[in-house]
Amino acid sequence: MTAKQILFNSFLQEDFSPKERAAQAWIVIFGFIFLTVACYFAGAAAMLRLVFPVTALLVGVFLYLRHPILYIGFTWWIWFLTPLLGRLIDYRVGWDPTRQILIAPYLVVFVTIGTFIRHLPGSLRQGGLPFFLAFLGVFYGFLVGLVYNAPVPVARGLLDWLSPIVFAFHLFMNWRDYPTYREHIQRVFLWCVLLTGIYGIYQFVVAPEWDRYWLIESKMFGSSGDPEPFGMRIWSTLHSVGPFGAVMQAGLLLLFTRTGFLIFPASAVGYVSFLLAQARTNWGGWLLGVIIILGSVKARLQMRLVTIILVMAMCVVPLVTLEPISEVVATRLETFSELEKDNSFRERSESYDKNLSIALSNVLGNGLGNIWKVNEKTGQIEVFVIDSGILDTFFTLGWFGAIPYLGGLILLVVTVSKYGEGRFDSFMSAARAIGISSCAQLIIGSGMLSVAGMILWGFLAMAMAGHKYYQNNSKYPL
């Protein structure tokens, strides 16, 4: 072993105990938090638009190398909280149409490209084919994007499409530590539901100035409500209603796999905020997830889940009956019986009627970055939203990219659907339910990108990791 290798291994792990590495990791995390808070309140809030992504990346690299478990939690929290920080900065120093601070979560996730590069060839014999196929599809879209689109939008599109895949691959390749990863992810999403749920209700009742400012400047009145108390469709600390709905849907399904005194307060605020988000697609995804979970666990666990659901309902229903919460929720629920009159439903139907044949006839695709266009008046890069993951995939990747990408995703869903460990491991059952229900929502949303994509790919990967862990552990009979 060379001196350089000895030094590198020493830096990674060998000279420190697990407790010492954990202590170092927490010191780095708290240092990162202190730096962020200090910059914000010391008059350097504008600098955070650059400093925050860079320091988040450095912390991500450090945790990835020194404390992989905390790296997972840090990554999720960066996704959950960065948009709120961005709104606070905008409120203090002025609107930033580039939204450059939102690049931070992608940079932290992209650290796992190291795992992808190191382990991809050998992983094909271990079940990693779905990730490889999806990577091929995205790489094809990247090459086409370089031909047809500007470099910056192409790079932004690459982060959007590839980040969930490489992060999910990282989770899968760490299957030997599945119990530790499972426990950590459960804990992260428990606190996420509790804290984002509380802030979501506060956002609905108070309508903080920074959220109103963001809603006005972003001009998202149609999809996010009015900038006034009791007028917003809440999105809590996330970037918009869709990402919040995806996160809360996953978090609430994961609460069925946990025990402890925080479960019921987290459920109460979580379900109320989930309803106030008025995200019907995610309501349907949650219901599908519950059905999948109940259909895949043993009778004893089914009874436990039914009991939890009933107790949660007893906590949530009294809160939902309060005005004006009841009016908002009831009005939204009524739209299910009159979908043909609903503007959102009509717009999606018209989009499919107009664009489906165009998308399917686009053999080569428009390449990554095709939904990011330069506004000729402002000179800023803006995103054109396509409310369908299927249409988005064919528009962006074409047939040559969509076939391997969707093939990898379908192979992943079919594979995890065959696993039987969910009978005794409720987390595996929930992870599979989250992944499959997220896939079902691709018909009416681009849920394979951003934090929704992280959830879709990440939880399917955790189900695969759990299966491989039990396969290689003889004390768990399959």
Same domain, 29 and 143: no
Cβ–Cβ under 8 Å, residues 232 and 222 = no
Same domain, 50 and 187: no
Choose the final residue of a domain: 114, 134, 157.
114
Q: In total, how many domains does the chain have? A: 2
Q: What per-residue confidence (pLDDT) applies to 139?
A: 96
Task: Compute φ and ψ for 128, nearest 5 degrees.
Answer: -85, 5
Same domain, 105 and 139: no
Alpha-carbon distance 270 to 197, whole Å? 5
In a domain, 304, yes or no: yes
In a domain, 119, yes or no: no
Same domain, 56 and 129: no
Residue 225 bridge partners (DSSP): 232
Same domain, 81 and 163: no
Question: pLDDT-based confidence at 69, cuts 50/70/90?
Answer: very high
CA atoms within 13 A on the CB side of 72: 25
In a domain, 371, yes or no: yes
Q: Which tokens belong to 475?
A: 């004390």
Neighbouring C-beta atoms of residue 399, cutoff 10 Å: 14
User: What pTM was computed for the model?
Assistant: 0.89
Q: What per-residue confidence (pLDDT) applies to 333?
A: 67
Residue 10 has pLDDT above 60, yes or no: no
Residue 182 has pLDDT above 50, yes or no: yes
User: Residue 2, SS3?
Assistant: coil
Helix (H) or strand (E) holding 193: helix 178-206
> Which of 59-68, 99-108, 145-154, 291-300 has the least mean pLDDT?
291-300
In a domain, 477, yes or no: no
Q: What per-residue confidence (pLDDT) applies to 477?
A: 52
Same domain, 102 and 237: no
Same domain, 159 and 102: no
In a domain, 247, yes or no: yes
75-95 mean pLDDT: 95
Using CA atoms, how far residue 110 sits from 58, 90, 113, 158, 161, in Å, is: 12, 26, 6, 10, 11
Same domain, 129 and 229: yes
Percent of the chain scoring above 70 in pLDDT? 85
In a domain, 408, yes or no: yes
User: Residue 373, SS3?
Assistant: strand
Same domain, 452 and 344: yes
DSSP states of 116-172:
HHHHHHHHTTTT-HHHHHHHHHHHHHHHHHHHHS-HHHHHHHHHHHHHHHHHHHHHH
Same domain, 27 and 143: no
Using CA atoms, how far residue 347 sits from 83, 182, 216, 355, 361, in Å, is: 27, 39, 23, 12, 22
Same domain, 183 and 205: yes
Choose the final residue of a domain: 114, 136, 166.
114
Q: What per-residue confidence (pLDDT) applies to 475?
A: 63
Neighbouring C-beta atoms of residue 360, cutoff 10 Å: 15
Residue 278 has pLDDT above 90, yes or no: no
Q: What per-residue confidence (pLDDT) applies to 388?
A: 76
Residue 35 has pLDDT above 60, yes or no: yes
Choose the final residue of a domain: 96, 114, 132.
114
Domain assignment of residue 60, given as a range: 1-114
In a domain, 476, yes or no: no
Task: Compute φ and ψ for 385, nearest 5 degrees.
Answer: -80, 130
Q: Which tokens belong to 204?
A: 């609905």
Q: Tell me: the pLDDT tens digits for 356-377?
A: 677 677 788 888 987 655 444 4
In a domain, 330, yes or no: yes
Q: What per-residue confidence (pLDDT) applies to 353?
A: 63
Output the CA torsion sign for 429, 434, 435, 436.
Answer: positive
Q: Tell me: the pLDDT tens digits for 414-467?
A: 999 999 888 888 899 999 999 999 999 988 888 899 999 999 999 999 999 999
Residue 134 has pLDDT above 70, yes or no: yes
Q: What per-residue confidence (pLDDT) applies to 15?
A: 55
Alpha-carbon distance 69 to 113, whole Å? 17
Same domain, 5 and 140: no
